[in-house]
Amino acid sequence: MSTTSTSAEAQPAAGGPAARHAGAPAPPGPRSPGPATDDGRIGLRANLRHIGALVRRNALQIRQDPESMFDVLLMPIIFTVLFVYVFGGSVGASLGGDRHDYLNYVVPGLMAMMGMNIAMAVGTGMNDDFRKGVMDRFRTMPIARSSVLIAKIVVEIGRMLVATAILLGMGFALGMTVQTSVLGLLAAVGLSLLFGAALMWIFILLGLTMKTAQAVQGVAMIVLMPLQFGSSIFAPTRTMPGWLQGFTDYNPLSNLADAARGLVDGGPVTHSALMTLAWAAGITLVMAPLAVRKFRDKT
Q: Quick: pLDDT tens for 254-290.
A: 999 999 999 999 888 999 999 999 999 999 999 999 9
Question: Is the pLDDT at 140 greater than 70, yes or no?
Answer: no
Residue 256, pLDDT score: 95
Residue 172, in any domain of the structure? yes
Residue 67, in any domain of the structure? yes
Q: Quick: pLDDT tens for 29-49.
A: 433 333 444 444 666 777 788
- Report pTM: 0.78
Question: Is the pLDDT at 8 greater than 80, yes or no?
Answer: no
Q: Quick: pLDDT tens for 173-198.
A: 999 999 999 999 999 999 999 999 99
Residue 196, pLDDT score: 92
Give one word for 175, left, alpha or beta, with left for phi > 0 and alpha for psi -120 to 50: left
Residue 42, pLDDT score: 66
Domains in the chain, number: 1
Question: Is the pLDDT at 102 greater than 60, yes or no?
Answer: yes
Residue 2, in any domain of the structure? no
Reference 109, options 232, 206, 197, 27; nearest CA is: 232
Residue 14, in any domain of the structure? no
Residue 66, in any domain of the structure? yes
Average pLDDT, the chain: 81
Residue 28, in any domain of the structure? no
Residue 251, pLDDT score: 92
Return the higher-pLDDT residue of 213 and 21: 213
Residue 29, in any domain of the structure? no
Return the higher-pLDDT residue of 21 and 84: 84
Please give the radius of gyration of the chain, using alpha carbons only, rounded to the nearest integer: 28
Residue 253, pLDDT score: 93
Question: Is the pLDDT at 241 greater than 70, yes or no?
Answer: yes
pLDDT band at 143 (very low <50, low <70, confident <90, very high): low
The stretch 222-227 carries a mean pLDDT of: 87
Residue 48, in any domain of the structure? yes
Question: The domain containing residue 123 runs over which residues?
Answer: 39-298
Residue 136, pLDDT score: 65
